[in-house]
Amino acid sequence: MPEFAELDPLLHQSLRLAVISVLVSVESADFVYLKERTGATAGNLSVQIDKLQEAGYINVVKDFVGKRPRTNCTITPQGREALAAYVTALQTYISLKS
């Protein structure tokens, strides 16, 4: 039986994977955009963004536009590497023949 690469447990959660997948295709994304794209609730998205930031997978900048708060996210090189490794691991699972 071949050995399977371990899937990154941080990215294996669907909302965190969705956030990283959105961020890999854009220069940056604000909280509202991520919420719309992922269909997540504000509370859940906030928690998952914090986990990705703590892992070093994304950078988060909080500022204001006028009097309104804005949270802006970008993927880090570490986040790109983690996603690439995750995809490679999934491909090994998919490509195995019975």
Domain count of the fold of the chain: 1
Q: Determine, yes or no, domain membership for 63.
A: yes
pLDDT of residue 97: 58
CATH assignment of the domain containing 28: 1.10.10.10
Question: What per-residue confidence (pLDDT) applies to 57?
Answer: 98
Is residue 17 included in any domain, yes or no?
yes
Asked if residue 14 has pLDDT above 90, the reply is yes
Q: Is the pTM of this model over 0.85?
A: yes
Could you report the per-residue pLDDT of 21-76, keeping only the tens digit for each?
A: 999 999 999 999 999 999 999 999 999 999 999 999 999 999 998 999 999 999 99
Give the structural domain span for 80. Answer: 9-92
SS (HEC) of 40-94: CCHHHHHHHHHHHHHCCCEEEEEEEECCEEEEEEEECHHHHHHHHHHHHHHHHHH
Q: Span 65-92, mean pLDDT?
A: 94
